[in-house]
Amino acid sequence: MVFIGKKKSMSQVTTMIHDLKNKKLNGPEQLKHHIESLAEKKTEEAKNGQNEAKTTEPKKEEQVVEWTQEEQTKLQAAMKQFPQSMEVFERWNNISEAVGGGKTKKDCVARVKAIKAQLKKK
């Protein structure tokens, strides 16, 4: 989001300009009061919109990717085949290709992190 003067977003300023063109405000105090009320209204709407988005859409990290035993075995083999000395992006690309089954780099990394976390708990 782009902010103008680090206080108001571009959409807030555009809305205020449009509203000011349509209203006749006398004096700087009325103008200032009107601008502040519009900014507060937009800020509250944005906060409410963000809160609704947080509650209605599940986070991607919360979505559980199912792993078969075959995919787990392929992941372990690929981890051995492609050492940590490789460039990270290339390594995880190769690992996800070796695992197959539609697993992405992100899925593979998340799986390894989850397994490491479980092992640390023990």
DSSP for 15-26 reads HHHHHHHHS---
pLDDT in the model for residue 63: 67
Verdict on whether the full-model pTM lies above 0.75: no
Which pLDDT score, from 0 to 100, does residue 71 have? 94
* Higher pLDDT among residues 65 and 94, named by residue: 94
- Please tell me the predicted confidence (pLDDT) of residue 56: 52
What pLDDT sits at residue 111?
94
Say if residue 114's pLDDT is above 60: yes
**pLDDT value at 14 more than 90:** no
Instruction: State pLDDT tens for residues 50-70.
Output: 665 555 554 555 567 899 999
The pLDDT, as a whole number, for residue 32 is 72
Q: Is the model's pLDDT at 103 over the cut of 80?
A: yes
Q: Partners of 3 in the beta sheet?
A: 9
Q: How far apart are CA 95 and CA 102, in angstroms?
A: 12
With CA atoms as reference, report the closest residue to 32 among 53, 10, 16, 56.
16
User: Who contacts 107 (Cβ-Cβ below 8 Å, separation ≥6)?
Assistant: 65, 96
pLDDT of 85: 94
What is the pLDDT, as a whole number, of residue 24? 64
pLDDT of residue 41: 82
Q: Which residues, in sequence order, are CB contacts of 91 under 8 Å at separation 6+?
A: 82, 83, 84
